[in-house]
Amino acid sequence: MAFVIIDACSQEKAAKCLDVCPADCIKLADTQYVINPNLCIDCGACEVVCPVEAIYHEDELLAEDKHSHLLAINHFR
């Protein structure tokens, strides 16, 4: 299980999540930050600091945001 960054990140890219992630598993992909689902330890620290509420646990993603999870999986494959 992992947290997922959705499209809303692309408008902001505040990168506050990078400062708090203890697993160093958030990287910039083309237009937004993405979380490596293989390294995320599910701590939730990134979720609370995101100013645009662009980070969700994968179990709580809305249907229209599921593609963001696939983006992360494919990016770190």
Residues in touch with ligand SF4 (CB under 6 A) = 3, 20-23, 25-26, 35, 40-46
Q: Which is nearer to ligand SF4, 27 or 66 (CB)?
A: 27
Least separation in angstroms between residue 54's CB and ligand SF4 is: 12
First to last CA, the chain: 16
Beta-strand runs (E) in 1-77 = 3-5, 26-28, 33-35, 55-57
Pairing state of beta strands 3-5 and 26-28? unpaired
- Closer to ligand SF4 by CB, 40 or 71: give it: 40
Q: How far is the CB of 18 from ligand SF4 (least distance, A)?
A: 9
